[in-house]
A and B are shown apart, each in its own frame.
Chain A
Amino acid sequence: MDEALSKKLRILADAAKYDASCASSGAPKRSAGKDGLGSTTGAGICHAYTPDGRCVSLLKLLLTNWCLFDCAYCINRRSSNVRRARFTVEEVVTLTVEFYKRNYIEGLFLSSGIIRSPDHTMELLTRVAKSLRRDHGFRGYIHLKSIPEASPWLIEEAGLYADRLSINIELPTEESLERLAPEKDGASIQGAMAQIGERILEAKAEKRRFSPAGQSTQVIVGADATTDTSLIARSAHLYDSVGLKRVYYSAFSPIPEGSAILPPKPPPLAREHRLYQADWLLRYYSFSAAEVADAAEDGMLPLDVDPKLAWALRHRERFPVDVNRADREMLLRVPGLGARAVDRIVAARRHTSLRLEDVGRLTSALKRARPFLVAADHRPTHLTDRLDLRARLAEPVQQLTLF
């Protein structure tokens, strides 16, 4: 690899890393044709982890970090003094193919600064995906960031080659967008997401290929005053209205070349973690946004206990729950019991009466579950009502250091 390309790679990978999504999941299983390259496994694979603990699955790049937009939270905004670079379509294709052949990556996640116009930029992004599929028989994963301001037909063309499309809402409210991302417009973002959502459904019904792994979005946490409960309510709405696969919460990160409108501050990592847990409750534990709000105080999720435990502590009257009798829905509400553990409990108790020790083999979080459970040989007696229960179960406040 020549030095010029390496230099571009360093600039444009650095510029792309603030997008949290990395998943290579959800695509239908495919394998390489006789002369082709690449496969997808369904669940996705993380090929490495960086010292921030994040998964490296897709080659995450910007086509260019030149940008006409001026979003305050973004390192690539036009008023930033960051070093700029621009890949050609062929360079991105080569990097993707050569990295893929060495088993470094699952595929490509390509985004771009807006150059010349949204349409021009969107066309370039699609050309990369098209060249990979057509010229290289590439069957690996492709995630394209869509530009909501681009013409609708260009966004739709991208869906023919990509496994996943995403449009970032970035900021949860219209006022924040106006203040911090003046070129963006909430209505066109929402409109483009709805359009993609419709096309995905139609294509599925007609058995055509269109962004088969669905669409996702990212919202920045901590750059404005939005509360956790309104973030979660917003996500719940997006899951319902446009069939979103995932919302990524990205703790606002200090960036080199920070903007004067946003004072640099350390990222609220613990808050981001609790939001992911709450989001999980929406998607896999049939919690409503209102129930998640019930776990919060003044709109914010507690940092010392997870949201499911916080909800249970508020609703002690619903506990303890009998592992040998309670229905699935109620077992899912027990802190420390995950969806998989609940399935195994329900299967096992058809053959045997579960004791506490048995439950311990089905979940790795028995300590948290115990005060809320009745088993064949266990009743929590007054434990559920103890006032200091929260303190006993809270995680020691984690000192998040930078080492």
Chain B
Amino acid sequence: MGAPAETAARPMVQSVALAPGADLAGFRSAARRLVGAGVPPERIAWTVAGAPELFGAAEALAEAPPLILPKAATETIGLAAQHRDPERYALLYALIWRLTHGERGLMEVASDPLVHRLWLMRKAVGRDLHKMHAFLRFRRVQDTGTERFAAWFEPEHHILVAAAGFFVDRFRSLRWSILTPDGSARWDGNSLSFGPPGRREDVPEGDGFEAGWRDYYESTFNPARTNLRAMRAEMPRKYWHNMPETLAIPALVRAAAGRTVEMIERSPAMPAKREPAKAVAAMFDDEPKSLEALNAIIRKAEPLVPGATQAVLGEGPVGATLAFVGEQPGDQEDLKGRPFVGPAGMLFTRAAEEAGIDRGEAYVTNAVKHFKFTLRGKRRIHEKPTAGEVSHYRWWLDKELELVGPKLVVALGATAVLALTGKQIPITRARGPFRFDRQGNRFHGYITVHPSYLLRLPDEAKAEAYAAFVGDLRRIAELGAELAA
């Protein structure tokens, strides 16, 4: 373009020298000072100092106040400053000048030639960063003790500093260095430091896993889909010599056509082995067929929300007339591994006895099989399961009821209702006989409160509510007897 030479010939042109590479800090402080002093773009010659000492003087100047720029501009400046184009600072200063001189909305005018050119530069830097994150390959350094890795990479732009954070986030627990012709980065497990340029020879010549990686690369290629143009567009040749897998490309491409023709022309082969008829027949016969088998699965599973001591399984005889479904195990249940043995459980057992139900003859279980709590001091405070947790456990409840085969299923409280119907139904409205009918599981049902509700009531209301609960249980016993008859 010749612009710098032209301006250099005129008087009053200021020369501003910045450090080699992406000297964003130097550019920022110079731009603040120059805009503050009202120096227009055509009066500045941006140069890159050969050695860092030369721009020491500029640093010493008093810092001018920050410029207020749109966010999109700051982002563009941060990225485009890393571009290798020697004109980058001049273009960026021209942008800042226009933004601060009547064109505040300039960043939105993507069709403007300057904005467009900087956008292309920004894109090129972004792509270079992305490709460095993608194509850099570490090799293990074979020396004593701790695992260390090293990589050699040749970025197109001045991106090492900006690219390093990604590797810290990803490989925080490892020790590694990245060497480039412009500089090097080193992570010791705690801190990141940058140093002088490296040499390819400083990185090991190979790695024990490279052959395996090449095997993978070769095997994952489908010769019937060969498309070299697409490969080169995304993985330009310039990156190949630092990627161990690309050694395989020429042979893969040479063989591809032949392999494809062979696949198409070869006539289908007869199966060499006999049909594994028994295994095929057996494979879908996989569902737990007894309560014990189901319980073994539940016992093995981990709680959805961590913390519970053990899964609390249902209790009672298979074929029981009545099945009671509660919410989830509480503190006592969790420790003892049995349902309905805490305060609410004892209340339930007493009320059932008053109603003439022998708890030992009924099946008792919970919608959710693991205790969930928040710790307050040393106390584990029960926490209600969420709707998602209830549906997570619902498969087991469905299967459990199917295997027990009760005549009447009793939902104790809202969580049990949710588990049995898949819907949130207020107890006050639905209390009484109910038909549970979901996904093939049909049961005569009954909805009542959870016994823990009675424990929470104020004393004056307790007696009446307890009597109503016992009343429900009496009806349940009657209904059960009718259905069993």
Contact = CB atoms under 8 A, between A and B. Distances in A.
A103 interface: yes
A31 B283 contact: no
A80 B271 contact: yes
A239 interface: no
A9 B147 CA distance: 24
A45 B170 contact: no
A117 B234 CA distance: 41
Contact of A9 (B151, B219, B257, B265): B219
Interface string A261-275: 000111101000000
A403 B297 contact: no
A170 interface: no
23 contacts: A6-B211, A10-B218, A34-B173, A51-B228, A51-B249, A51-B252, A53-B225, A68-B276, A81-B273, A101-B171, A116-B283, A203-B388, A205-B388, A206-B386, A206-B387, A206-B388, A256-B262, A266-B264, A344-B110, A350-B105, A351-B106, A352-B109, A352-B112
A105 to B, nearest CB: 9
A402 B209 contact: no
Nearest to B439: A191
B225 A269 contact: yes
A266 B225 CA distance: 9
Contacts of B167: 103
A51 B227 contact: yes
Contact of A32 (B173, B207, B213, B253): B173
A56 interface: yes
Q: Name which of B106, B113, B228, B287 has the most chain A CB atoms within 10 A of its CB.
A: B228
Given A14-B220, A104-B209, 8 more contacts: A14-B219, A17-B219, A50-B220, A51-B221, A51-B227, A99-B209, A256-B266, A348-B109
A59 B219 CA distance: 11
Q: Name which of B174, B213, B252, B273 has the most chain A CB atoms within 10 A of its CB.
A: B213
Contacts of B395: 151-153, 156
Interface in B242-268: 243, 245-246, 249, 252-253, 256-257, 260, 262-266, 268
A208 B140 CA distance: 37
Contacts of A36: 172-173
Interface stretch (B21-29, B127-135, B332-340): B127-135
Interface stretch (A172-180, A276-284, A330-338, A356-364): A356-364
Contacts, number: 273
A16 B268 CA distance: 21
Contacts of B135: 47-48
B58 interface: no
A236 B59 CA distance: 60
A152 B287 CA distance: 11
A301 B229 CA distance: 24
B268 A39 contact: no
Interface of A: 1, 5-6, 9-11, 13-14, 16-18, 31-39, 41, 45-56, 59-60, 68, 78-81, 95, 98-99, 101-104, 114, 116-120, 137, 149, 151-153, 156-157, 160, 183, 198-199, 202-203, 205-206, 208, 210, 251, 253-260, 264-267, 269, 344, 347-348, 350-352, 354, 358-359, 361-362, 402-403
Consensus secondary structure, chain A interface: loop
A208 to B, nearest CB: 7
Nearest to A116: B283
A87 to B, nearest CB: 13
B235 interface: yes
B225 A102 contact: no
B139 A102 contact: yes
B438 interface: no
A256 B136 CA distance: 34
B234 A265 contact: no
Given A81-B271, A153-B297, A267-B225, A31 B169 contact: yes
Interface bin, chain B:
35 or more
A259 B269 CA distance: 8
Given A17-B220, A103-B151, A203-B388, A402 B283 contact: no
Contacts of B224: 253-254, 266-267, 402
Contact of B209 (A1, A33, A54): A1
A313 B390 CA distance: 53
Q: Name which of B147, B215, B222 has the most chain A CB atoms within 10 A of its CB.
A: B222
B396 interface: yes
Q: Name which of B106, B134, B234, B275 has the most chain A CB atoms within 10 A of its CB.
A: B134
Contacts of A49: 230-231, 234-235
Contact of A53 (B213, B229, B257): B229
A64 to B, nearest CB: 14
Contact of A81 (B112, B169, B269, B301): B269
- A-B pairs, 9 with minimum CB distance: A53-B230, A358-B111, A202-B388, A31-B169, A53-B227, A13-B219, A52-B225, A79-B271, A50-B221
B263 A256 contact: yes
Contacts of B202: none
A350 B108 contact: yes
B108 A347 contact: yes
A350 B231 CA distance: 39
A376 B222 CA distance: 49
Given A347-B110, A362-B110, A18 B173 contact: no
Interface string B274-302: 01100110111111000000000100010
B284 A117 contact: yes
Interface string B161-195: 00000110111111000000000000000000000
B269 A1 contact: no
A255 B269 CA distance: 12
B391 interface: yes
Contacts of B213: 99, 102, 104
A37 B138 CA distance: 14
